[in-house]
Amino acid sequence: MANEENTKADTMKLDDTQRVKVLSPSALVLKRFFRNKLAIVGMVIIIAMFLFAFVGGMVIPYGQSQVFYTTEEMKKDYAGATYINDYMMYEDKEAEVPGDLYSKAILAITKKQSVVETRNGGSLALRPLTGDSYLVYGADETKNPRAMKSAEHKAAVESGENYFEYDGTAYMVDSATGKELLYNVTEMAVICKLSFTPYNPDIAFSYEFYKNALLAMSGGGKDFEADGAAYTLGMEGEEAAMVYAADGSDYAYISNMNINSVVGGVNLAPDFKEMVAYAIREGKDSFEYTDAAGETDTYLLSEKTGQYLISRNQETRVIDTYSSPSKEHWLGTDANGMDLLARLMYGGRISLLIGFVVVIIEVIIGVIVGGTAGYFGGWVDNILMRVVDVIYCIPSMPLYLILGSIMDHYRASPTVRIYMLCVVMSIIGWVGIARIVRGQILSLREQEFMVAAEALGISVGRRIFKHLIPNVVPQLIVFATMGLGDVILAEAALSFLGLGIKYPAASWGSIINAVNDSYVMTNYLFVWVPAGFLILLTVLAFNFIGDGLRDAFDPKMKR
């Protein structure tokens, strides 16, 4: 019995080989680390972030720059209408027309004269028709008493007209001088405030069509002929009419309004113009129109300072901006119509990649410079530390602004911007690690194991990187782990300011950059809250891991 107790006591001695093996330094550090619950939480979060960014980006069917579209019914301008205020002249191609025909005709209308003289000494006579329409004649004064005493002249005077025909000749009577002067007249043109719209855009109206159509409108008649064809007028008030061909089909539309499409390449049909003019006359704010294909649309009318705008609701394919979360887009879409979940995944790759690359470069530069300065001391230490002081004095934000402007000027690609951002952040950020390494090596280089290494003739490089640096690794790991969060925050801040990753590449900071006004921030929380939450979780996780490693390497710090 005593032997068993002695054997049991012997197994519990502290210098037992098996117990020493169990409590080796690395195992002890790991054991302390995994006892820290917050550190474990941080590890789980970081692993989840890597799976989300790298595995999720391969699983999700959308790309980070894939734009999505949707169909919306939008009010679009279709046509414009306005009353015709300027006279339009349609000349007879076979007549000898003076150069100032239009200006003299306008002068006669303005002064309400029937006859005016032209620049070449001739005369023009105007015959009023319906509304603001006139027939323009070349006039020669005549002394034909038989015409003056004819029944045709008497009938014209009694009806208030200044035009009559006698014995196959056309005459005009001018009473503006106080006595009746008779003119023998020859047709030259028609002048009016009416537009003529053919149903077939290839049709070109002749002077005879213009004249006979206006004469028919003036006389209130329904039928007229032009160029050997018969036409029928469908009057719409005094200054609008639909012209039908002999077979009853629509041929043209005459109106005192200019109605034109605001859409390029679209010719408005006469019956559409007829509907617009009717709706305006009736004071309506909308009307329905069925086109040649049998499709019926509702058109909206609005008026401003005499200008009428015709618009309609039309299905349009537009970018699906700020779409709320749905089955297709679990986190919705951003201002460019891109899937936010996909951009968060691809953006996580860049944010995490920049964080690790920058920290690795900082550690490499800091270890080399700090290790060299700490080991050699003297003038080497002074020079290297002054370099560190100079870099400390460099203002980082102005440097980022200058670099961003240069890359914007040369239109650098998103990939180049990522590389440049890593390089610049690394060059500015390594000085802290260099100082930590230098301070640790200054205290370690005088210890016995270094004296022994020097006595054994081990090279300087091996002494620094084989014996000194490994003793600084615990502090480097803690510093690097906690610095990862700072780098990710710095990248997010630079991207938010427009100095980091540019469209179409994504990072968590550039996604938050979409929140550049209060309206988006308050009304579209799903655009920026997930990215901010991921940054918060990642930085917090790295801090948890850093705290856990610090406590594991140096338990006294926890006390």
pLDDT tens, position by position, 137-186? 888 888 777 777 788 878 877 777 778 888 778 887 776 664 567 767 78
Domain regions of the chain by residue span:
29-62+334-558, 88-312
In this prediction, residue 556 has a pLDDT band, given cuts at 50, 70 and 90, of low
CA 94/CA 92 separation, integer angstroms: 5
Determine the number of helices (DSSP H) and then strands (DSSP E) in the chain. Answer: 22, 17
CA 46/CA 13 separation, integer angstroms: 41
Enclosing H/E stretch for 310: strand 307-319
DSSP state of 79: E
pLDDT score for 10: 52
Contact 476, 437 (CB under 8 A): yes
**Which tokens is 466 given?**
């084989």
pLDDT score for 5: 53
CA 45/CA 9 separation, integer angstroms: 44
Other Cβ atoms closer than 10 A to 475: 18
Token pair 């926890």 in the structure block, residue: 558
- pLDDT averaged over the chain? 82
**Which tokens is 383 given?**
């020079």
Helix (H, G, I), strand (E, B) or coil at 128: strand
What is the percent of the chain with per-residue pLDDT over 70, rounded to a whole number?
Answer: 91
Give DSSP secondary structure letters for 470-505.
HHHHHHHHHHHHHHHHHHHHHHHHHHHTTSSS-TTS
In this prediction, residue 341 has a pLDDT band, given cuts at 50, 70 and 90, of very high
pLDDT at 94 over 90: no
pLDDT score for 50: 92
426 pairs with which residues across the strands?
Answer: none
CA 499/CA 90 separation, integer angstroms: 65
CA 510/CA 507 separation, integer angstroms: 5
Residue scoring higher pLDDT (415 or 301): 301
Encoded amino acid at 91, one letter: E
In this prediction, residue 559 has a pLDDT band, given cuts at 50, 70 and 90, of very low
In this prediction, residue 333 has a pLDDT band, given cuts at 50, 70 and 90, of very high
Range with the poorest average pLDDT among 76-90, 224-238, 467-481: 467-481
Contact 145, 136 (CB under 8 A): no
Global confidence as pTM = 0.59
Left (φ > 0), alpha (ψ -120 to 50) or beta: where does 377 sit? left
**Which tokens is 493 given?**
């801040």
**CA-to-CA dists, residue 418 to 158, 352, 407, 505, angstroms:** 94, 12, 11, 10
Q: Is the dihedral of CA 343, 346, 352, 353 positive or negative?
A: negative
Q: What are the pLDDT digits (tens) for 438-479?
A: 888 887 777 777 767 667 777 777 777 777 777 777 778 877
CA 47/CA 40 separation, integer angstroms: 11
CA 12/CA 15 separation, integer angstroms: 9
Buried-state track 35-54, b at ≥16 Cβ within 10 A, e below 16: ebeebeebbebbeebeebbe
Contact 218, 133 (CB under 8 A): yes
In terms of Cα–Cα distance, which of 26, 32, 28 is closest to 549?
32
In CATH terms, the fold of domain 29-62+334-558 is MetI-like fold (1.10.3720)
Contact 391, 427 (CB under 8 A): yes
Angle, helices 25-35 vs 37-50, to 10°: value is 90
Angle, helices 525-553 vs 469-496, to 10°: value is 170
